[in-house]
Homo-oligomer: A and B are copies of this chain.
Amino acid sequence: MALSCPTGQHDKHDVYAAQCPCRGVLDLLANKWTALAIGALEEGPLRFGELQRQLEGVSPKVLTQTLRRLEEAGFVDRTIYPAVPLHVEYNLTELGHGVAEPLGALRSWVERNLDRINA
């Protein structure tokens, strides 16, 4: 597996230096809700409230933050249906489904090995 950064800025012994753009994306995933949000959206679009209920415990502020970051990265798509009451849908983009896959693989591994961890 390639450990070196595709930008070629670092040699193989760097793994990746902190300044590598890869880091930004990795950091994006490195927080409490991002991975879960992506997982939740994998099976279809969800509204703000639905997401909040599924993530159980996330505050509206933090959920908004998370979703905005995902939007910025291009993983999530936000659609507003002007109506009363307001209807907003969040949706994984193609790119979003892309990350969802290796992310899901990671979750699967964790689930399969839960018993071996902390033993």
- Determine if A42 and B3 form an interchain contact, defined as CB atoms under 8 angstroms apart: yes
Interface check A88, CB cutoff 8 A: no
Q: A38-78: contact bitstring with B at CB < 8 Å (1 yes, 0 no)?
A: 01101100000000001111000000000000001111000
Given the complex of chains A and B, what is the CA–CA distance between A36 and B27 in angstroms? 11
- Determine if A54 and B14 form an interchain contact, defined as CB atoms under 8 angstroms apart: yes
Which one, B18, B105, B114, contacts A55 given CB within 8 A? B18
Interface check A30, CB cutoff 8 A: yes
> Given A102-B105, A113-B95, do A26 and B35 touch, yes or no (CB 8 Å)?
yes
Query: From residue 1 to 51 of chain A, which have CB atoms closer than 8 A to chain B?
Result: 1-3, 5-7, 13-18, 21-22, 25-27, 29-32, 35-36, 39-40, 42-43
> Given A2-B108, A30-B35, do A114 and B25 touch, yes or no (CB 8 Å)?
yes
Seen from chain A, the residues whose Cβ lies within 8 Å of a Cβ on chain B are 1-3, 5-7, 13-18, 21-22, 25-27, 29-32, 35-36, 39-40, 42-43, 54-57, 72-75, 95, 98-99, 101-114, 116-119
